[in-house]
A and B are shown apart, each in its own frame.
Chain A
């Protein structure tokens, strides 16, 4: 693996790609629109039409861009970026190549919360219920891991697995017991992950969480680097191992909880993307974290665009698309890594 000494170039390229992806994705759909229309809409809603002398769009086109596509694309971008960062942090903290943002049972916890309100029929509460479910799973997993003594990578993984299975069983029970035709479909779509119903509120939740928590997590590069050779090495490099692990796990869980609450649990982004980026740039986190975030944003924007256009007018949950792309890519990475003596690298 080559060492990259031009991180700025990578980051600039990835940022450009993310912005271009957002703009392009907004133009794609049944109503034909161009990048210029996107620009005019944004200018109009920023109240700058007069100042910049651009014409606002017709009402229908404006609504298509501003009410439907923009919130959806921006939510996808924020969720993709957040999941990728959470994936990197989880894989480093647990030193487990199979770790993903949902490792602590977060997606199962969120699903349980979401399914409960879907079955009861109070969909308005869905994000709240999902977030509460995710946090409950986090508390359960950390309490379980902590009760065994110091929270080591293995204990974290095992506790997450236990909570995850428990919540999944409870979810299945609720579905089995009470779901009927329609609610079953919306439950399935939620379980697979989707940003189809995204609104500006979703953008605010996911985007806000990514800006605050994601930025904090993305700035922990040196700390995660110190864990490269395990807890002992991290300690001798001056890192308070237990406190750091608790803090970062909670940070990841809160961010993931916020993302899950708007999009359901979208798989593979947080698992595969960090591996793919690591293969290209090496394992140093100062570049890996922000680059994964930017590429995660582009990736999910395009995955969601595919989800809503490939079988138009029918829509797929984006989780199906990410799994369809992610699983073969993961297999490819494993296959490429087979020459390396150890692990996925």
Chain B
């Protein structure tokens, strides 16, 4: 069996660009957002994500996406990294959700692909879905890529996010690649054991059981990681070497984020 396109791309994503260590390098770099208090970034970028998610007009989303893109540039996040780590995966996952909307939404027909037709309304809702998802993901990416991970967790806790949630987020970030890797290993061993092409039903059955194994593997893994943290004194609060100190410039940033969010909301009134 040949490896599928998605599988190959994901593998590339996981192994060649090693997200976690690359992200740490950018996070420690000397861009603009790197110098902003993590709490301000959490509040400001989260606000913009909410505004983007609630927005019903394409130009508004475009402005927010543009703002996110400019912030990425001044924070020296390479555009290639954004494409590989954020835009492509979001395109895959949201794309599969948006695709049916193209065909099943009734309305004025704009294009025909053989027996099926695409309506203007379908096209519009697919584009809205995708652009909102890409914008929200890029904004969240800005936070994660310009802030050392323990500081992100610490900042989330200052907003009283429950400990459990913070711990799960922490695990996911660190272990998503360990989990992806075991997924590939599983696929690989399946492929080497099976001779000839499998029936579609068989493939579906294997995929379903693989997901089950993977899920229980990752639960086991994150359970163990949590134990290892507890063993070294973790009691729910992450303590850092340097605690946060808001500077004058941080208040300016906070004001800036708030102004942008307010302007966008006012524009859509």
Query: Does A associate with B in a complex?
Result: no
